[in-house]
């Protein structure tokens, strides 16, 4: 991944609201500020806005037609309803799930968790994880789509302006390669990929449009 999601922890030094094992609901009388803490969930209610949302142990939920800047958690999921607008979202242990018409200026990143985007999502940067599935339906991604050990489904009229990559760890770090399991990459017939389909490990490749085979770049040797 291009930058470490573990920078999340240092963000707690900039706390605006301290969470101590509770759920913080942001309504009309609380909108507009930062929310940072250690324990507890964050819920941005429908139609409301906030700045940066950060928690170490807890989930973040944004209801429909809400907005925020950067969303960060270490142990927790991020759930985004329909018509949500954010700048970025990162988690270490947790999934990122979004409803329809998500707007993201930057990237969506998780280490251990799925990323699931419903119809109409627009992401200006990358969509990436290490362990977990990626599923995009009718999405427009300005950067790359990348995983190490997850299955990838690109469906509908999804448009990827960067690369689609299944990576392999190059060292003995915490990013491991499970050689006994091949990820599955499924790309539907109407999906557009401007970059390359980069395979750094064996993959079960399912291309509904045979023309995309010309974009496949294999960067591994068979055992």
**Considering only CA atoms, which of 93, 107, 91 is closest in space to residue 53?**
91
Same structural domain, 129 and 188: yes
User: What is the tally of structural domains in the chain?
Assistant: 2
Confidence of residue 196 (pLDDT cuts 50, 70, 90): very high
Reply yes or no on whether the pLDDT at 223 is more than 80: no
Same structural domain, 122 and 219: yes
49, part of any domain: yes
Confidence of residue 13 (pLDDT cuts 50, 70, 90): very low
Give the per-residue pLDDT at 30.
56
Same structural domain, 24 and 66: yes
Q: What pTM, to 2 d.p., does this model score?
A: 0.85
Same structural domain, 171 and 130: yes
The string of pLDDT tens digits covering residues 106-122 is: 999 999 999 999 999 99
């Amino acid at each position: 991944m291009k930058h470490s999601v573990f920078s999340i922890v240092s963000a707690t030094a900039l706390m605006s609201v301290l969470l101590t094992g509770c759920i913080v609901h942001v309504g009309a009388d609380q909108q507009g500020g930062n929310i940072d803490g250690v324990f507890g969930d964050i819920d941005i209610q429908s139609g409301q806005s906030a700045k940066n949302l950060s928690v170490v142990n807890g989930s973040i939920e944004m209801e429909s037609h809400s907005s925020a800047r950067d969303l960060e958690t270490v142990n927790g999921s991020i759930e985004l309803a329909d018509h949500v607008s954010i700048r970025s979202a990162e988690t270490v242990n947790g999934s990122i799930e979004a409803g329809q018409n998500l707007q993201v200026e930057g990237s969506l990143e998780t280490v251990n968790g799925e990323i699931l985007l419903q119809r109409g999502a627009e992401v200006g940067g990358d969509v990436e994880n290490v362990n977990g599935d990626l599923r995009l339906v009718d999405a427009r991604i300005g950067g790359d789509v990348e995983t190490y050990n997850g299955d990838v489904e690109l469906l509908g009229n999804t448009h990827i302006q960067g690369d689609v990559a299944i990576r392999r760890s190059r060292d003995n770090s915490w990013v491991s390669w499970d050689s006994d399991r091949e990820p599955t990459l499924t790309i539907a017939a109407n999906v557009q990929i401007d970059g390359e389909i980069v395979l750094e490990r064996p993959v079960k490749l399912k291309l509904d449009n045979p023309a995309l085979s010309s974009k496949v770049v294999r960067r591994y040797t068979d055992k």
